[in-house]
Structure 1
Amino acid sequence: MKTNEQIQAALEARLPQMTAWRRYLHQHPEPSFHEQETARYIAEQLREMGCDIRTGVGGHGIVATIRGERPGPVIALRADIDALPIQDEKDVPYRSTVDGVMHACGHDAHTSTMLGIASYYQSVRGELQGERRLLFQPAEEICPGGAKPMIEAGVLEGVDAIYGVHLWSPLPYGAVATRPGPFMAAADEFTVTVTGQGGHGGLPHQTIDAVVAGSALVQALQSIVSRNVNPLQPAVLSVGAFHAGKSGNVIAERAVMNGTVRTFDPQTRRMIRARMEQIVAQTAELHGAKGELNYREGYPSVVNDAGEVDRFMRVAAQLPGELQVERSDMIMAAEDFAYYLQQVPGCFMFVGAGNEQTGAIYAHHHPRFDLDERAMAVAARLLIAMAEDRVGAASGTAGAG
Structure 2
Amino acid sequence: MSLKEKLFSKLESKEQHMIETRRHLHANPELSFKEENTAKFIEDFYKDKDVKVTANVGNGYGIIVEISGQSPGKTIGLRADFDALPIQEEADVPFKSKNDGVMHACGHDVHTAYLLHLGEALIELKDEWNGTIKLIHQHAEEVPPGGAKSIVESGILDDLDEVYGIHIFPMLDVGEVGLISSNSMAGRSNFDLTIQGSGGHGAMPHTTHDALVAGAYFVAEAQTIVSRRMDPMDSVVVSVTAFDAPGGYNVIQDKVTLRGTVRYLNEENKVPAYEAMKKIAAGIESSFDVECDLDYVYDYPVTYNHPEETQYVEDILSESVGSYITEIKHPKPSSGSEDFAYYTQKIPGTFIHVGSKPDGVENPYPNHHPKFEVHEDSLLISAKTLGDVVLGRLES
Range class of TM-score, shorter chain: over 0.9
User: What is the 5 A alignment of 1:2-401?
Assistant: 2-58=2-58, 59-319=60-320, 320-357=323-360, 361-393=364-396
Kept in 1, the 8 Å contact 2:325–2:381? The answer is no
Which residue in 2 is equivalent to 1:398?
A: none
Shift in Å, 1:357:
2.5
SS in 2 for 1:76: strand
CA distance in 2, matches of 1:43, 1:359: 38
CA distance in 2, matches of 1:295, 1:308: 34
SS in 1 for 2:101: coil
Unaligned ranges ≥5, structure 1: 394-401
Larger mean Cα displacement after TM superposition, 135-144 or 116-125: 116-125
Task: String of CA shifts for 1:151-186, please: whole Å, max 9, x gaps.
Answer: 122231211000000011111111110211100000
Alignment-mate amino acid for residue 217 of structure 2: A
Kept in 2, the 8 Å contact 1:10–1:120? The answer is yes
SS in 2 for 1:351: strand
Kept in 1, the 8 Å contact 2:33–2:61? The answer is yes
Kept in 2, the 8 Å contact 1:353–1:360? The answer is no
Unaligned ranges ≥5, structure 2: none
Kept in 2, the 8 Å contact 1:86–1:100? The answer is yes
SS in 1 for 2:183: strand
CA distance in 1, matches of 2:228, 2:178: 32
Kept in 2, the 8 Å contact 1:285–1:291? The answer is no
TM-score by length of 2: 0.96
TM-score by length of 1: 0.95
| Matched pairs, number | 393
Task: String of CA shifts for 1:8-38, please: whole Å, max 9, x gaps.
Answer: 3321221111101100011111100011110
Larger mean Cα displacement after TM superposition, 14-23 or 48-57: 48-57
Quote the RMSD (CA, aligned, Å). 1.5
CA distance in 2, matches of 1:170, 1:334: 16
Shift in Å, 1:387:
1.4
Task: String of CA shifts for 1:277-330, please: whole Å, max 9, x gaps.
Answer: 011111232122122211011100100000111112212221123421011201
Kept in 2, the 8 Å contact 1:358–1:372? The answer is no
CA distance in 2, matches of 1:188, 1:277: 13
Task: String of CA shifts for 1:255-278, please: whole Å, max 9, x gaps.
Answer: 111000001222211111001101
Larger mean Cα displacement after TM superposition, 30-39 or 357-366: 357-366
SS in 2 for 1:33: coil
SS in 2 for 1:366: coil
CA distance in 2, matches of 1:331, 1:130: 33
Kept in 2, the 8 Å contact 1:316–1:323? The answer is no
Q: Give the percent of matched residue pairs that are identical in Structure 1 and Structure 2.
A: 37
Q: 1:3 to 1:127 in 2, by over 3 A?
A: closer
